[in-house]
Structure 1
Amino acid sequence: MKSIYKILFALVFVFAWGCDKDEFAELNSDPAKLQEGELRFSITKAVEQMYENDYTTWFYNNFDYIYPWSQFTTQQGGNSPTFNVMESYGTQYIYRELFPQTRDVQYAIEAMPEAEKARHQVLKALTYPIQILPAMANSDLLGSIIFSEAGRAPFTNPPLITPAYDSQEELYNLWLTQLDEAIDIFTNSENPIQMGNQDVIYGGDYAKWAKFCNLLKLKVAARMINVDRARALSVAEEVANSPAGFMDALTDDFIYNRGVKYYGTGNGFWIGYGNQVLIDFLRDNGDPRLKFLFKKNDFNAEVVQAFIDAGVDLPPYVEQYVSLDGDGNFAGWTGPGEPWVRYHGAPLAPDATLDSDNDIYFNQGTLYRVNLNGAEKTYSATSLFSEKLVRTTYDYTYPTKPGGRVIELKDNDPPLHVILGSSAETNLYLAEFKLLGANIPGTAQEYLNRGVELSVRRIDALAENNQFPYYSNDPVYTDPVESEQASTKLKEGEIANLLSQPALDLSAGDALEKVYIQQYLNFASTPNDLWTLVRRSGIPKRNSAILPWQEFISSGTEETLPRRFVIGAPTEDDLLYQNKVQALEDQGFTPSVSSPEILNSERMWFDENNPDYGAGPIE
């Protein structure tokens, strides 16, 4: 279970995360303190593993499947006729590092004398949310997973090397029980062990961990809403009235930051264009999140003038906002102006990708190439998903005219901050549950407004930390006023303007759809939650007057989308063969098939009663 090597690494890690000299000396001389230090190290190491395998989950899961199927972006270059067919994907590696750490903590504490066991219960309580969040992400994709018996082999006799799979129903019930236990421990423990700086999320503030546990309870309730509504609403009432409180400020947010030298993956992604209808919706409502979720296109004033000088046609969706002077030169922007006029999406249907009328979106390399005085450049007119949300080693060259200045954002990579749970999410869930009948104190409109404000402010803070291009200014504009105006940072009055839009007025009808749309936007940087929402809510909704579902037409027929990921067929040489076969049979899943029709019809437990894609909410 424990080795001298782990103890040594524990001491080094604890010291590196902020112990002062006296504390380190005390640890080094007291065996009880030594174990305490090792257990704190295990917690820190487990938190580090909550956001693991970041490259494959983004490269495959999110950009190839979840975002396109949720109608947030296309696949790279536009959706192909096979965009709904699954190939490679990744999952959270919770069994490789996370569970060995959390089980070590749990079993070590259970073996302690009663007095020490009581003081260490807070560390055991920490293991529950640490395990649950990434496990939920895996279950969202695959259904039943190994959880209750995971990682127990080193602590059992004989070793438990064939752990059972837990169904989603079992998982949700277990998680709610564990979260309640954790909340009770966090709020009622006397003289608990202090994590201090070894808690890289909340700095040892157990009250905030309790609020995060309440968010996890709401996540479970949201997944249960169409399969056990009474239980889901009861959980929402528990959270809204919890003595521990719930997440309701940016300082409550669970912001993952592995360390000062963690920048996310160093590899690039195949990122698609933003959904045309979605980007138009965000622009029309003056939603500041547009500026952070998607990248500006290349058509600033200088580039527009270069197209005019070269006699090359502007993209029509860019040209509509261009004002010319009497000589036919660029005079300024019409409509909402910078930076809003720099965001444009693309159609989603595979047939639209192949339609020559849409070359303005899908043949930009040919259409938007400009040659001036022997210098040539190609420009992008549409908006990709913001890569800086995922990795901060992303360098950016600002667009200028052919032969013009070279302006770069590079070599100043900040440590990546990632949202794993937020106060915005909490309030938006409460708005939903209030509309569905939960007996909770606030009004749905109050929860919605609070959630949207926090959502905007959180992603603005992420953009500032992750050093998005254009955040503080647009350096291509030499006039300081124009440069600041073209910046993407949150500006005074933008939130108030957004909250005044009819799309957020719950008294004007379609209230539940409006709340789900705001959840949809808030979940843009947590794709598992995004796809879960799309499946359980039926939004975007077909023929919606707010944010309509776009039909994925291919060869004149609408494509069928999967509702779960492919699960490989177990082989008889696998020690877990019988358990895997049983889990597949219990769920009614066919293994090793990528047929979208089968992956659509064979649904997970939480998804059995959910509406079809685009069908709209179940009131």
Structure 2
Amino acid sequence: MNKYSNILMGFGLSAALVCTTGCRDDFADINSSPSQVTVGDPSYLFAMAAMDFEPFGYTFWFYDAPMLTSWSQMAVPTGSFTESSALTTVTGGVSYVNTLKLAHEITYLRSNMSEEDAAKHAVTAACVDVLTTYLALSSSDINGDIQFTEAGNALHGGTLTPAYDRIADLYTLWLDQLNSAITTFTTATDQIFTNEQDIVYKGDRAKWAKMANSLKLRIAARLISQDKARALAIASEVANASCGYIDSLDDAMLFNKSVVNSSSDDYIYHWSNGFMDGMASNQRIVDFMLENKDPRVRFLYRKNDWNSKIIQEFYDQGKAIPSYIEENVEYTTSGGKKTFVKWKGMGEPWVRYYGLPVEYNAKNNSAVYGEWFDYENRYKITDENGQSAKSYRPYSMYQHQMVIGRYYNFTLPTVPGGPVITRNDSRPWYGLYLGGSEVNLYLAEFKLLGANLPGTAESYFTQGVKLSVQEYDKVAGLNQIAYYGTTYDYDPNEVSIELKSGEIEAMLASDDYQLTGSASEQLEKVYLQQLINFTMYPYDQFVTARRSGLPKFNSQFISRENYASIPVTNFPRRFQTGVPNEMSQLYQIQRDAYAAQGYTITGAGDANTSILNSERTWQDQGAPQWGEGPKN
């Protein structure tokens, strides 16, 4: 039997425990004897919380990510940046309520146990508190104040109209919860806590302690603009804590929820809907990574369609190829016909990655940017019979297979009428939720800002970048993304994308990847590495861009484009409030919460985007404007 089967067997019971208040009807109203009703087990509820732990859901990627990456200019719309790029759409968000309900349920169950029995579930309760903190923190990043302390507990006497908590108070609450959890993980004895119920760390409490300690740095990072001294003090606590922090691949919060069918295939494969299809890689970011031989470009973005056999087919048909691609091609010419010889420059697989230009309305400037945006017309060919027309995308899209294990099946680019080479099998999905790369890059930032840490900023920075590459390589391998470990035996010039020996060392030898230069240049380098590391984490990437003011205008590393048609004050810093429903019990509560934060009520698509820039969340107040660069 699969090792997770005992987890799934408890789900029916767990669901019954957290359903509506109707579940509390007297036994006289149901056809069962109390002696036949099973008492809930906190271990099952923890297993359910881990399975439902979802910071990267479909609506998050489909709705939120395109907006956030556009506003921070970390990705480019496939139709180029236009005035609509600053508008909002409907949102998806990050849900924490289900996990919060389970935390309340565990509290309730323990309150009905003897003191001795309740104490045996302390670690289980602490794990769910940590998962809930993780999710709620992400939700508050874009919205500010959220309903938390009074939320999700109506089943046990709580209110159906929970108040909004101020985010400043929640940061304090969550830090206290994390500190309490660390104490529990490291000191609690005689616990009912087995590896079969823990899909995250397989019952390893020491790793849970490191994870909880590391999560505190996310809160510290969000405090920089409001309470720098407190943020630096938190960083010092984390770095000097006896429990340690995530500093290796082995300690990372990286796991697969299930490998067999359960109540939902999403537990196995993540989800299966399309996402980010209208967004592509940013030319300036891709070029920066290529110039510095950064292997992560291969795990964050997909190869373009232009393998050497496609190029040769265009040559054979006398058709032009994109000039920026041909710059990397060595060819001979005989009788007016070109013949591909080999790749120039960095060679495969590097020459298969190109980003889209960030210039305003570039798609409509065909004379300058048509090679990127008009590829469906310019780079379409057919077979010798005029059939099987194909177009070849010259730039790189996001690496979708890093996010889901199905739907984005792979089809190798081949010539019209050529073989059909596909990869259609679904693959259990592995998610990396918190790694040593993020932790060390935070520590590098805090050290530069004056925190009392045992290591040097340079050592944290180097370790963070190194772990980022290793983590992405590991996740790419586990998720079996296209070209990882294989070339599919079609193009003899194709090279697989897995991390190669010596690549990390070559990358770290680049000046841009060494913590040198002025104080401001060093800080910019650290933030840029955080942004790159968060490419597959749009919320965290957005928060980092927002609090750092990067990419910076006229940067020597990666620069932000300043649009005359869209001033930076028109790019939002948060989502719209939405218009409260007058028939809802929460109507006045929502209006009061928005007023308390200084928000004007706005709906999706409203053109008054300057409001979403000036009326900021508490944690964003005082942060640099887009493009200004970090404040020391």
Give the alignment partner of residue 378 of structure 2, picking from 343, 367, 378: 367
Do residues 232 (structure 1) and 243 (structure 2) align? no
Where 2:382 maps in the other structure, the secondary structure is strand
Give the alignment partner of residue 44 of structure 2, picking from 10, 19, 41: 41
Q: CA deviation at 1:559?
A: 7.2
Is contact 2:349-2:497 (8 Å) kept? yes
Where 1:325 maps in the other structure, the secondary structure is strand
**Change in CA separation of 1:306 and 1:105 when aligned onto 2, cut-off 3 Å:** same
Where 2:341 maps in the other structure, the secondary structure is strand
Matched residues in 1 for 2:12 and 2:107: separation?
22
Aligned to 2:446: 433
Is contact 1:53-1:93 (8 Å) kept? no
Is contact 1:351-1:553 (8 Å) kept? no
Q: CA deviation at 1:258?
A: 2.6
Aligned to 1:320: 327
Matched residues in 1 for 2:160 and 2:70: separation?
38
- Paired residue type of 1:111: N
Q: CA deviation at 1:539?
A: 1.0
Where 1:439 maps in the other structure, the secondary structure is coil
Q: CA deviation at 1:130?
A: 1.1
Do residues 533 (structure 1) and 544 (structure 2) align? yes
Where 1:617 maps in the other structure, the secondary structure is coil
- Paired residue type of 1:352: A
Is contact 1:310-1:371 (8 Å) kept? no
Q: Which moved more, 1:530-539 or 1:42-51?
A: 42-51
Q: How does 1:308-347 map to 2 (within 5 A)?
A: 308-327=315-334, 328-347=338-357
- Paired residue type of 1:71: Q
Is contact 1:517-1:540 (8 Å) kept? yes
TM-score by length of structure 2 reads 0.89
**Change in CA separation of 1:188 and 1:275 when aligned onto 2, cut-off 3 Å:** same
**Change in CA separation of 1:557 and 1:219 when aligned onto 2, cut-off 3 Å:** closer
Is contact 1:120-1:192 (8 Å) kept? yes
Do residues 150 (structure 1) and 151 (structure 2) align? yes
- Paired residue type of 1:403: G
Aligned to 1:209: 208
Give the alignment partner of residue 408 of structure 1, picking from 422, 433, 446: 422
Do residues 82 (structure 1) and 84 (structure 2) align? yes
Q: CA deviation at 1:506?
A: 1.4
Q: How does 1:509-520 map to 2 (within 5 A)?
A: 509=518, 510-520=521-531
Aligned to 1:601: 614
Aligned to 1:10: 10
**Change in CA separation of 1:119 and 1:233 when aligned onto 2, cut-off 3 Å:** same
Where 1:329 maps in the other structure, the secondary structure is strand
Do residues 293 (structure 1) and 300 (structure 2) align? yes
Matched residues in 2 for 1:584 and 1:592: separation?
10
- Paired residue type of 2:204: D
Aligned to 2:504: 495
Return 5+ residue gaps in structure 1 as ranges: 1-6, 15-30
Is contact 1:109-1:117 (8 Å) kept? yes
Aligned to 2:219: 220
**Change in CA separation of 1:227 and 1:8 when aligned onto 2, cut-off 3 Å:** closer
Q: CA deviation at 1:331?
A: 0.6
- Paired residue type of 1:140: D
Aligned to 1:253: 252
Q: How does 1:117-156 map to 2 (within 5 A)?
A: 117-156=118-157
Do residues 584 (structure 1) and 624 (structure 2) align? no
Where 1:90 maps in the other structure, the secondary structure is coil
Aligned to 2:73: 71
Q: Among the aligned pairs, what percent are the same residue?
A: 38
Is contact 1:425-1:519 (8 Å) kept? yes
Matched residues in 1 for 2:310 and 2:234: separation?
54
Q: CA offsets, 1:257-296, max 9 Å, x none?
A: 2322521221222241210111100111000000011111
Q: CA offsets, 1:404-452, max 9 Å, x none?
A: 12211222x2211122111111111111111111111011111111111
Aligned to 2:627: 614
Is contact 2:307-2:491 (8 Å) kept? no
Q: CA deviation at 1:326?
A: 4.3
Aligned to 1:176: 175
**Change in CA separation of 1:53 and 1:500 when aligned onto 2, cut-off 3 Å:** closer
Q: CA deviation at 1:311?
A: 1.1
Is contact 2:95-2:136 (8 Å) kept? no
TM-score by length of structure 1 reads 0.91
**Change in CA separation of 1:553 and 1:273 when aligned onto 2, cut-off 3 Å:** farther
**Change in CA separation of 1:292 and 1:10 when aligned onto 2, cut-off 3 Å:** same
Q: CA offsets, 1:463-510, max 9 Å, x none?
A: 11111111112225454xx44xx1110000110111111112212331
Matched residues in 2 for 1:456 and 1:548: separation?
23
Is contact 1:502-1:508 (8 Å) kept? no
Where 1:134 maps in the other structure, the secondary structure is helix
**Change in CA separation of 1:564 and 1:367 when aligned onto 2, cut-off 3 Å:** same
Aligned to 2:310: 303
Return 5+ residue gaps in structure 2 as ranges: 1-6, 15-34, 260-264
Is contact 2:580-2:591 (8 Å) kept? yes
Aligned to 1:508: 517
Aligned to 1:242: 241
CA RMSD of aligned residues (A): 2.0
Is contact 1:77-1:273 (8 Å) kept? no
Q: CA offsets, 1:108-148, max 9 Å, x none?
A: 22332221222221122112111111111111111110111
Aligned to 1:28: none
Matched residues in 2 for 1:252 and 1:487: separation?
28
Matched residues in 1 for 2:620 and 2:199: separation?
34
Is contact 1:248-1:426 (8 Å) kept? yes
- Paired residue type of 1:443: T
Aligned to 1:18: none
Q: CA deviation at 1:53?
A: 7.4
